[in-house]
Amino acid sequence: MTGPALTPEERLADLGLQIPAVAAPVAAYVPAVRSGSHVFTSGQLPMVDGQLIRTGKVGGEVSAEEAYDCARQCALNAIAAVHAEIGELSRVKRIVKVVVFVASTPDFTGQPQVANGVSELLGEVFAEVGAHARSAVGVAVLPLDAPVEVELMVEV
C-alpha cells in the first residue's frame, strides 16, 4: 500500500530546494497574472537574491551546462511567482506551456537541451501535471544580459 502523494512543495524539499522570494520586476510589470483558471508568469530570469547567477551568451561566455542550471533557476523563480499568486502549488492542475528564451551565439543550436533544465524540474516538482507544451527560442540578447528567460502558463 502506498502513502499519500507528495505535494509539489514536498517534492521541492526532497530535491533540496525551497520556493524563493518572488524576484522584483526589472521594469514596469508584475511577476504573474491570474486570468480565470490560468496563471501567466512574466519572463523570469536566473536570479538568486536579486542577482543574476550568470551573464552572457550561451555558446560563448556561458556553457550549455551552466545555461541548463540557469534555466532551472528561472523555473524555480517562475514557480515562486505562481505560488505567490495561488498559494498552495497543489492547486496547479497542469503546466500548460513553457517558453524558454536562450541568449546564444549565432552558431549555438542546443536551445532545446538548455530548456530541459526547466522541463525536467517541472516534471520533478509536479509529476504528470508538469508535462507541458514548450518552445525553446534562441535570441540575440535578454534583459540584464541574462543567458536564459522563462515564462510559464499554468492551469489552476
pLDDT at site 2: 56
101 touches 139 (CB < 8 A): yes
Closest CA to 93 of 122, 124, 130: 130
Domains of the chain with CATH codes: 8-17+36-155 (3.30.1330.40)
Whole-model pTM? 0.95
Concatenating the DSSP letter of every residue in 81-124 gives HHHHHHSSGGG--EEEEEEEEEEB-TT---HHHHHHHHHHHHHH
Neighbouring C-alpha atoms within 13 Å toward the C-beta of 144: 17
pLDDT at site 24: 84
Q: What is the pLDDT along the chain (156 residues), one digit of tens a residue?
A: 556 789 999 999 999 999 999 988 889 999 999 999 999 999 999 999 999 999 999 999 999 999 999 999 999 999 999 999 999 999 999 999 999 999 999 999 999 999 999 999 999 999 999 999 999 999 999 999 999 999 999 999
